[in-house]
Amino acid sequence: MQLFVGLGNPGLKYSQNRHNIGFMAVDRIAQSGFSPWKPKFQGFVSEGRLASERVVLLKPATFMNLSGQSVGEAMRFFKLSPSDVTVFHDELDLAPGKVRLKTGGGHAGHNGLRSLHQHIGPEYHRVRLGIGHPGHKDRVARYVLSDFAKAEAAWLDNLLRGIEDGAVELAAGEGPKFLNAIALRVNPARPSSGIKKTVITAAPPVAEKKDTRSAFERLKDRFS
């Protein structure tokens, strides 16, 4: 059994914030035949299967900086270890639409990850979802708590579709295949133009016929 956790802040006010991309990710996975969301573990849970793997989706309702409370409670109930937990979260250090996988390490100042470190330790899996950086650290708080711009809607939708496509691979521990499913949505192969190029080739040279006449015959033909 695995626990997939999306990080974000509860309520409509925050629903489209960049900081809530983790919520958006698990919401998208929940569309793949999971149960309706219900309140539990200081958050909301949805249960289902990804191939043969039983997966519980969790959205903490404690606000970002207390996310670890909800996750810790769910882990104790299901008797899980950090290696059974995968967390989807926003990542300032990745360009918008980029995704990286990581296990363990520091929290890099992310309030949700800091809380998880405090409650369950650092050795959980992470799906780092790039949202880009505003350019200066003083603008970070306002940036992450602002909504995605309309111009970002296309890549965001493709990213979430890719996460849904690859969720089975993620649950199976096939990280590269999961990332490939996302890449196929975010950076699809360019279709062929359908225009056939016409290749013009030179006509093959024609060999000259050898003149077998005698000198007298050539002279005779010349003056005849």
Q: Which residues are catalytic?
A: 19
Task: Report d(CA 7, CA 64) in Å as an integer.
Answer: 7
Angle at 175 between CA 169 and CA 181, to 5 degrees: 60
Q: Which residues of 16-55 are buried (b: 16+ CB within 10 A; e: fewer)?
A: ebbbbbbbbbbbbbbeeebeebeebbbbbbbbbebeeeeb
Contacts of 42 (CB under 8 A, 6+ apart): 60, 61, 62, 69, 70, 73
